[in-house]
Amino acid sequence: MKPFFQIFLLCLLPLTGSSLSFFQKQLSDEELKEKIAAEMSLDEKIGQLFMLGYPESDPDDFILEEIRSGRVGNVKIFGWNATDTGVVAEAVAKMQKAAAETRFEIPLFTATDQEGGWIRHVKGNTSVTPGNNAIGATGKLFDAYESGRLIAAELRVIGINMNFAPVVDLFDNPEADLIGPRTFSSDPHETAALAIAFFHGQEASRVLSTAKHFPGHGRTGLDSHIYMPRIRVSEEELKQHELIPFSFLVKEKIPAIMSGHLNFPEVTGENVSASLSPHALKDLLRDEMGFKGLVITDDLLMGGAQKPGVGYPNIPAECIRAGNDIVLISKDYRYYRDAFKVIRELCLKDAEFMNEVERAVRRVLTAKIEYLRNDDRVPLYPTKANAEELPLEESTAYQQSLALRAVTAAAPIKTIERTTPLLLAGSYRNFSRAGSEIFTDSRFFFIRDFSRGTNQYEIADEIAALAEAENRIVVLLVSDTETAAVGRVLNRREVPCILFSSLNPYRARDILLPEQSILYLYGVGFESFKAGFSALVGDFVPQGHLPIQ
């Protein structure tokens, strides 16, 4: 039968979910996309451009009704939704069933941030992984690929079909505690290679990858959740550095890129975040770099989402005008409702804006048809029983092996006996648990929250007194600026000390303890800490290299 006769016959059928199923096998992907785009109502089109979070562990009546009406086409699973993987699976199924009640039965993109390491929004029974710094420390494409594949395989079990990863920012700023530990490297070409492998790993599990944060968050130590970082770098410098990983990923046809709330005044020529800059998204990303996929904003409730003279609730519309295809709002329903109204009114009176919406809708439909139509798609209706498969056995074994390969020693380490008395000082219970498994005579000193008024000198005094009284070697876990400060004080007081570094490796390196006293672990999970203590007793020789210059 000729394709136009197929379309003609379908048009004669009543507009029911079964007759206009998103999964119509009679139509090619392109025909299906154009048919749905042509027949959608304005509200249904706008709905495909919104990604909305919800405030509790279960999706509430409001978001379910917005999904059923076609006014929300995508959802984001945040950490506050995802402490129980069984609940997440049931929530995803409930929301996908609501989407199946729309007349086109278009599935939702169900997204999350499961980068590996520190950023793991879906907790519960998912694997704790050493993270991107650890992958950078091994430098192995295999590790990047397997990390992406296994992280995505676990998300697949509970119905999450889009991951906001890989992070392709560069570890350029020693003060970048927010971004630095989430990066692969300070080297753009190494980052590109590892990010490509991670992307293809996620592809193997059919989870849609989203590279972030375009055009690059690594030079600033500021948190774009709170501020709009201003990064003074020329466009040429940007192309020769931050944009290199993005350029390689575009060539590899990565399906989505997240726009960052970062201001590059010498590039955009104005005081506006890149997520709201047509020059950044249209001229650079689309025209020069040739990106054809989805552009998704970072959360628009973040402080960095700014454009002079434009305020709530007009920011989402300006994001679409700038070249974004999906706008993300974490959990403010009022913001969503007001922004939807603004976008709708603009569509009715501004033909140019309506054209932007039409282009964005087609890009969203293209991606959904590619990832959510075929038999290899992420299951739409996971169950609580599915979640009981987590963590995947192969992932648990792999994460331990990655943690071992990642351990980095600045110089050959002096191993110590398992019976050596140790004082384990840090703020992670897994650090204490891993140490006590290997060292029978260890004691844990919990470093209190500095915000309570305690300072590094008081903590160092307590640690030094305990170490001297009990003749113990101190193993200090450096994970932030506060514990690094404690390390400097202990160093000045010549307290026998070994440093374990997790998260930002600059913090330990800058303490200037003797090189043989530092082991870089990168992660904050039990596997990473166990790997460090295993190296300390000589079970293996660390082979990792620092992923920073």
d(Cα 515, Cα 522) in Å, to the nearest integer? 17
| H/E element, 44 | helix 42-47
- Backbone phi, then psi, for 294, in 5-degree steps? -85, 140
CB 521 within 8 A of CB 500: yes
Reference 323, options 406, 371, 257, 265; nearest CA is 257
Query: DSSP secondary structure string, 485-549?
Result: HHHHHHHHTT--EEEEEES-HHHHHTT---GGGEEEEE--SHHHHHHHHHHHTTSS------S--
Catalytic annotation present for 298: yes
Query: DSSP secondary structure string, 420-451?
Result: S-EEEEES-HHHHHHHHHH-SSEEEEEPPPGG
d(Cα 217, Cα 169) in Å, to the nearest integer? 6
Of these residues, 223, 225, 461, 480, which one is catalytic? 225
CB 369 within 8 A of CB 33: yes
* Measured CA distances, 185 to 11, 108, 169, 283, 286 (Å): 53, 33, 8, 27, 26
d(Cα 337, Cα 155) in Å, to the nearest integer? 29
CB 325 within 8 A of CB 295: yes
Say which residue the tokens 């005094």 belong to. 461
Of these residues, 169, 172, 187, 298, which one is catalytic? 298
Number of CB atoms found within 10 A of residue 299's CB: 22
- Listed in sequence order, the residues at least 6 apart from 119 whose beta carbon sits closer than 8 Å to its beta carbon are 113, 182
d(Cα 132, Cα 201) in Å, to the nearest integer? 14
d(Cα 422, Cα 440) in Å, to the nearest integer? 9
d(Cα 3, Cα 76) in Å, to the nearest integer? 37
Catalytic annotation present for 225: yes
> Helices (DSSP H) in 166-261: which residue ranges?
188-204, 235-240, 243-251
Strand-pair partners of 263: 230, 273
Reference 475, options 432, 527, 539; nearest CA is 432
Question: Known catalytic residues?
Answer: 225, 298
